[in-house]
């Protein structure tokens, strides 16, 4: 079955016993999103924990001038979530939008809490993913201050080549904190 194959890549049998896997996998619901559809809108509370099976998603905020600024990109096997809204139960300031048609696997907040508190391996995996997400966010915010734009682009190219190949240059530019013209110049320099 397709869902079992994908989710078994996320929840491996080396970390979970058979009964835990069975309990976890049956809780997920497949949800498809069309390009440009929102998984979450600013002002709403995050009620879902999503695994992205196929497609690309971005999160963004609107700056004081009304421009949308990309805060993160998500690809295959990523968790698509506003962590603070999900755990603190407060309205988000971000929007999360499909950049392509997407297949996601959804777990609602209440079910997540039940699994988190009843299955130690689920809790540990969740903690690892949360910590990893925090470090990535921290590194991105420090990089925006301390690194040259070219360095930021090269790191994105190294760490997430699938994003660079499949996402618009405008979204990549706002994520890197530069204009699309600066990004175009950097790309030209690198290709020479």
Q: How far, in Å, CA of 118 to CA of 122, rounded?
A: 8
The confidence band for 2, taking pLDDT boundaries of 50, 70 and 90, is: very low
Q: How far, in Å, CA of 52 to CA of 73, rounded?
A: 11
* Cα three-residue angle 86-73-177, rounded to 5 degrees: 110
Q: How far is CA 15 from the centre of its chain?
A: 22
For 114, the token pair is 């039940």
Q: How far, in Å, CA of 160 to CA of 72, rounded?
A: 11
Q: How far, in Å, CA of 109 to CA of 188, rounded?
A: 45
Q: How far apart are the first and last CA of the chain?
A: 46
* Cα three-residue angle 100-4-41, rounded to 5 degrees: 35
What's the rounded mean pLDDT across residues 166-179? 94
The confidence band for 6, taking pLDDT boundaries of 50, 70 and 90, is: confident
* Global pTM value: 0.87
Q: Which residue has the tokens 């497609």?
A: 55
């Amino acid at each position: 079955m397709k869902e079992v194959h994908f989710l078994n890549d996320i929840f491996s049998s080396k970390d979970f016993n058979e009964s835990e896997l069975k309990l976890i996998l049956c809780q997920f619901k497949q949800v498809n999103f069309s390009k440009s559809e929102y998984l979450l809108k600013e002002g709403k509370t995050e009620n879902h924990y999503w695994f992205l099976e196929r497609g690309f998603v971005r999160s963004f905020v609107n700056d004081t001038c009304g421009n949308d600024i990309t805060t993160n990109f998500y690809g295959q096997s990523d968790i698509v979530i506003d962590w603070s809204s999900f755990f603190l139960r407060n309205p988000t300031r971000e929007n999360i939008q499909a950049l392509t048609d997407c297949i996601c696997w959804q777990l609602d907040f209440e079910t997540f809490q039940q699994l988190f508190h009843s299955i130690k391996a689920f809790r540990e995996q969740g903690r690892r993913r949360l910590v990893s997400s925090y470090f990535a966010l921290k590194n991105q915010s420090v990089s925006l201050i301390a690194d040259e734009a070219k360095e930021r682009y090269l790191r994105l190219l190294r760490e997430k080549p699938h994003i660079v190949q499949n996402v618009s240059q405008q979204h990549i530019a706002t994520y890197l904190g530069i204009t699309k013209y600066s990004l175009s110049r950097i790309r030209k320099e690198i290709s020479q």
